Amino acid sequence: MSPEDHPKTDFAAYVAKQALAESHPYALDDDARIAVVGGGPTGSFFSIFALKLAKMLDKKLNITIYDPKNFTKDGPAGCNKCAGIISELLVQTLAVEGINLPDSVVWKGINSYQLHTTKGSVSIATPSFENTIAAVYRGGGPKGIIGEHKESFDDFLMGQAIKEGAEHVPRKIQRIEYENGKPVLFSQGGEIEQADLVVGAVGVNSGKSGIFPDMGFGYEEPQTVKAAITEISFDEEIITEHFGNSVHLFLLPIKNLKFAAMIPKVTYLTLCILGHDLNADTVRDFLAYPVVKEVLPKSVGYKLNCRCLPKMNIRAPKVPFTDRVVMCGDAGSTRLFKDGLGAAYIMGKAAANTAVLHGVSKQDFQEHYYPVYKNIIVDNQFGNYLYFLADLYKNYGLLTRWMLQIVREEQSDPEDPKRLSSVLWNMFTGNERFKNIFATAVSLPVRFDLWKAFARTLVIRR
């Protein structure tokens, strides 16, 4: 998330509505029931903020989070399949909201990244404090190493929601139908509750359940691509000595691959490969690629603890809400190829603000939730242009060389504004909006630096 993304809590509108004593058939009354389907970050953020707001307004809400996963379990049973990079800005913003991530949940040691290409490597230091990044575990960790050095981010957030008053029911919701204008939830064939609001925070990785598309209000599951993640265990000293406090980022001319990142996490390395339609061979082929082999320690073997091919949302659904139903997080709109956790916070909070302060009708979501939802969609269009540019830079050797040359010069001069370095940092690991990164990427000084690199190549060739 970027500093511009803070969801605003519009108490003034609420107070004005109360003063006018408007009766709104879709307002959440005292003792209203909310069913949150999915207890990942989005479902937990929604619950935390809805309950906090309700308390401030002296209202009681009954929130039940349905999710069959146990986030304390290691391996796939407790994992929501993610590289776990979060921005320091999100860590600080959550602290201001009263959600303090303990050191066992967030690892704050990352101070640079190493960019690896076929034309060489370069180290890029954190551009500024706001752009610092950290790493979290999404579940109990890779298979076979439960409890070492870490706690689960998803479990921690769910715990915060429960502290605020939510209840977690470990069930998978299988069907939702309207009865007398209100949604009714079904699990294992039986009816379990009628709710005043259903929050769809189901992500994109639980198979095609069809629950929300089958409700018939026009929602279709987001368009997705397959990514690849693997966790590789090493001794702690090897991780410290070999990978240090850097995320290792790979921009390589491999078909279907956008970029890959290795994130050191004390005794493990998370390797995350993003692109289009990756398959079971992707990890093996990637680890055998010469540039990658150079980065891995040569003297010691390694073991792949876990691997999976999770889906990523690359296009948000057009109809994300109706009366008494709202879709959030990965099941709605999220950032393209980065910062899904920041987007979960923004969208979870925006949905909570709308529901508690304004109401749960289609019109309420259209007026107060959709502008935030649309913002991310528009910003992702700039993201698409940027990833297209990145593809050019990694696929054409001359461009790769120029990019490295400029970044090396920027990094060696403490006075340099480091424009291209910050473009690269923010695109792959940072929290800046794509629109702002795009503006820097196509700015005159960056184009001038490229022309300089081009002219230098010509001179050297002559």
Interacting residue ranges for ligand FAD, rule: CB under 6 A: 37-43, 66-69, 80-86, 172-173, 201-203, 205-206, 209, 211, 227, 229, 272, 310, 312, 329-330, 334, 339-342, 344
Q: Is residue 170 within 8 Å of 67, Cβ to Cβ?
A: yes
88 versus 410: smaller Cβ distance to ligand FAD: 88
Smallest separation (angstroms) from ligand FAD to the CB of 115: 17
Residue 180, class by beta-carbon neighbours within 10 Å (0-12 exposed, 13-18 middle, 19+ buried)? exposed
Closest among 87, 68, 197 to 134, alpha carbons compared: 87
85 versus 356: smaller Cβ distance to ligand FAD: 85
Smallest separation (angstroms) from ligand FAD to the CB of 166: 14
57 versus 77: smaller Cβ distance to ligand FAD: 77
Smallest separation (angstroms) from ligand FAD to the CB of 80: 4
Residues forming a β-bridge with 136: 106
Closest among 307, 311, 296, 298 to 248, alpha carbons compared: 296
211 versus 249: smaller Cβ distance to ligand FAD: 211
Q: Is residue 381 within 8 Å of 391, Cβ to Cβ?
A: no
Residue 460 three-state SS:
helix
Smallest separation (angstroms) from ligand FAD to the CB of 205: 5
Q: Is residue 447 within 8 Å of 402, Cβ to Cβ?
A: no
The side-by-side arrangement of strands in the sheet containing 112-117 is 120-125, 112-117, 246-250, 257-265, 268-275, 228-233, 303-308
361 versus 431: smaller Cβ distance to ligand FAD: 431
Residue showing tokens 């990637």: 286
Smallest separation (angstroms) from ligand FAD to the CB of 67: 4
82 versus 407: smaller Cβ distance to ligand FAD: 82
Smallest separation (angstroms) from ligand FAD to the CB of 140: 13
Smallest separation (angstroms) from ligand FAD to the CB of 401: 28
**Cβ-Cβ contacts under 8 Å for 432 (sequence gap 6 or more):** 2, 131, 426
Q: In this structure, which amino acid lies at residue 7?
A: P
Q: Is residue 312 within 8 Å of 227, Cβ to Cβ?
A: yes
Task: Copy the structure tokens of residue 197.
Answer: 């609001």
229 versus 403: smaller Cβ distance to ligand FAD: 229
Smallest separation (angstroms) from ligand FAD to the CB of 35: 10
40 versus 359: smaller Cβ distance to ligand FAD: 40
Task: Copy the structure tokens of residue 35.
Answer: 């069913």
Closest CB to ligand FAD belongs to which residue?
Answer: 340
